[in-house]
Amino acid sequence: MPDFFVISKVIPLLLYPLPLILLLIFILSWWLNKKSLRWIIRILTLALWLFSTPWTAQQLSQWWETPRTSRASLPPFSDVAVVLGGLSDPSGSTTEHLEFNRAAERLTEAVALYREGRVGALLITSGSGDLLNQEDKEAPGLAAWARAMGVPDEAVFVESESRNTRENATHSLPIAEKQGFQSFLLVTSASHMPRSAAIFKKGGYTENGKTLTLWPVDTQQSPVRFPFNAVPDPGSLTTSQSVLREAVGYAVYWVQGYL
């Protein structure tokens, strides 16, 4: 008789909404009259199942993400950590509580590096990427959180007008140059780093003696193993979508000549 522990882990997987609904759609397709329609539904269902599995999310992440490195690989000291936004919800945050999302490591790692003496300051760059609400700027709230974690006011610089990654680079560089910063540590998610690194390098962060070191965080790779990595879940679908969005974004920026 199967062990109860195994049953308790396996059975609920198939009762979660995403795999259950996909299974039902696939099964019900056998009762459709038109053969062509049956196959279209089956193929689309299998495709959605595939992109929703931890296995696919893992493969896409490994293919696209900039690999994380150890602290030993960092320079002994960098003038400033450039922190890219997209890690909180300004509209849902208050002065007393910052609503982080899964990319919170962009800021928490930067603060940790400052407290370790590896960077001399933080330059937080993020305005509003919301098409319908340009008033909710992200950077001020992130800066307030960094100060609350012990980073002094004089070591926190804010750029809050940028709306995308290219503007992060073009708007933050004048602030950095005004402060005389020459060595930069770029902090963003591992899946966002390929595009960000290319943009910042082309945007002047490696010119005139400047150095740019990459510090990818927030990896989306998953430790889930077979057979559990073959069962779809919403988180894996989100990861697959995020990686593919970054790949498409990289291509669009390349076509525009921003990379």
Q: Looking at the domain assignment, is residue 190 inside a domain?
A: yes
Residue 36 CB-density burial (10 A; 0-12 exposed, 13-18 middle, 19+ buried): exposed
Q: What is the rounded CA–CA span in Å between residue 79 and residue 61?
A: 30
- Indicate if 202 and 114 belong to the same structural domain: yes
**What's this model's pTM, rounded to 2 decimal places?**
0.82
- Indicate if 142 and 234 belong to the same structural domain: no
Question: In the predicted model, is pLDDT for residue 37 greater than 70?
Answer: yes
Q: What is the rounded CA–CA span in Å between residue 110 and residue 119?
A: 8
Q: Which domain holds residue 246?
A: 12-64+222-256
Q: pLDDT tens, 132-168?
A: 566 778 888 899 999 999 999 999 999 999 888 899 9
- Indicate if 107 and 150 belong to the same structural domain: yes
For position 183, which CATH number holds? 3.40.50.620
- Indicate if 49 and 96 belong to the same structural domain: no
- Indicate if 226 and 160 belong to the same structural domain: no
**Total domains, the chain:** 2
Q: Which amino acid is at 56?
A: T
- Indicate if 128 and 187 belong to the same structural domain: yes
Q: What secondary structure, in 3-state letters, does the chain show?
A: CCCHHHHHHHHHHHHCHHHHHHHHHHHHHHHCCCHHHHHHHHHHHHHHHHHCCHHHHHHHHHHHCCCCCCHHHCCCCECEEEEECCCECHHHCCCCCCCECCCCHHHHHHHHHHHCCCECCEEEECCCCCCCCCCCCCHHHHHHHHHHCCCCHHHEEEECCCCCHHHHHHHHHHHHHHCCCCEEEEEEECCCHHHHHHHHHHHHHCCCCCEEEEEEECCCCCCCCCCHHHCCCHHHHHHHHHHHHHHHHHHHHHHHCCC
pLDDT at 8: 41
Q: pLDDT tens, 192-231?
A: 999 999 999 998 999 999 999 999 999 988 787 887 888 8
- Indicate if 198 and 158 belong to the same structural domain: yes
- Indicate if 120 and 142 belong to the same structural domain: yes
pLDDT at 131: 56
| Contact predicate 61/247, CB 8 Å | no
Q: pLDDT tens, 39-95?
A: 777 777 888 888 889 999 999 999 999 999 999 999 999 999 999 998 887 767 666
- Indicate if 131 and 175 belong to the same structural domain: yes
Q: Looking at the domain assignment, is residue 3 inside a domain?
A: no
Q: What is the rounded CA–CA span in Å between residue 42 and residue 168?
A: 43
Q: Which residue has the higher pLDDT, 95 or 118?
A: 118
